[in-house]
């Protein structure tokens, strides 16, 4: 099916139209304490949501990391907040993303080297500069069948979202250019 036919197909059958399931924003500091608190403060300012701290899975002596020590903070955005955040962050990467950033199910990730590049964010010397990873997950109506507790079932192969469909959806809805 060509890229021009997909939006028409989605209008005819709304169960096939992709949607942004969630956007996960991660700042990995690599150590606990004050730097992690500053990173959490940056995430809270950007997303207006409380970040969740993530712990190290294993001890790495070279980096001074112990297992169980909090080293990163993450925020998960859904629905309208996710779309608003993406529209705010995508100009930082010039609304362009490589096709290599997409997986076979249409999800994609990208990174930002400095959070102060985001429009509307000012540099504060006492906080510093943080980079972040942003992961965008897509789904379709009907994906709940796979995750629900009672009556779990597999999703048919024809209903699973593909990379090509996600690229068309991102291009139409967010104005993102896939290179």
* pLDDT at residue 135 in the model: 94
Determine the Cα–Cα distance for residues 93 and 95; give it in Å rounded to an integer.
6
Residue 21 has pLDDT above 90, yes or no: yes
Using DSSP, state whether 109 is helix, strand or coil. strand
Angle subtended at Cα 104 by Cα 160 and Cα 173, rounded to the nearest 5 degrees: 75
Beta bridge partners of 76: 24
- For the chain, the average pLDDT equals 89
Beta strands at 177-178 and 96-97: parallel, antiparallel or unpaired: parallel
Determine the Cα–Cα distance for residues 29 and 37; give it in Å rounded to an integer.
10
Q: State the sign of the Cα–Cα–Cα–Cα dihedral 52, 111, 30, 32.
A: negative
* pLDDT at residue 118 in the model: 86
Q: Which residues contact 135 (CB under 8 A, 6 or more apart)?
A: 23, 24, 26, 107, 108, 109
The 10s digit of each residue's pLDDT in 106-136 is 899 999 998 888 888 888 888 888 889 999 9
Taken in order of first residue, the domains within the chain and their CATH numbers are 5-178 (3.30.1440.10)
Q: What is the mean pLDDT of residues 1-28?
A: 86
* pLDDT at residue 1 in the model: 64
The model's confidence at residue 179, banded by pLDDT at 50, 70 and 90, is confident
The model's confidence at residue 22, banded by pLDDT at 50, 70 and 90, is very high
Q: What is the mean pLDDT of residues 32-49?
A: 89
The 10s digit of each residue's pLDDT in 53-109 is 998 888 888 888 889 889 899 999 999 999 999 999 999 988 899 989 899 998 999
């Amino acid at each position: 099916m060509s890229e021009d036919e997909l939006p028409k197909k989605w209008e005819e059958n709304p169960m096939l139209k992709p949607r942004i399931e969630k956007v996960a924003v991660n700042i990995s500091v690599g150590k606990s304490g004050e730097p992690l608190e500053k990173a959490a403060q940056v995430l809270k300012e950007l997303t207006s949501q409380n970040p969740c701290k993530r712990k190290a899975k294993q001890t790495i002596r070279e980096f001074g990391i112990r297992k169980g020590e909090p080293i990163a903070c993450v925020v998960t955005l859904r629905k309208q907040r996710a779309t608003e955040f993406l529209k705010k962050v995508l100009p930082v990467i010039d609304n362009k993303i490589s096709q290599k950033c997409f997986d076979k199910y249409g999800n994609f990730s990208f990174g930002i080297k400095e959070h102060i590049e985001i429009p509307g964010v000012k540099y504060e010397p006492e906080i510093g500069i943080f980079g972040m990873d942003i992961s965008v997950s897509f789904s379709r109506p009907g994906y709940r069948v796979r995750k629900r507790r009672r009556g779990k079932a597999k999703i048919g192969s024809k209903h699973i979202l593909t990379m090509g469909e996600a690229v068309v959806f991102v291009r139409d809805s967010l104005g993102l250019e896939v290179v």
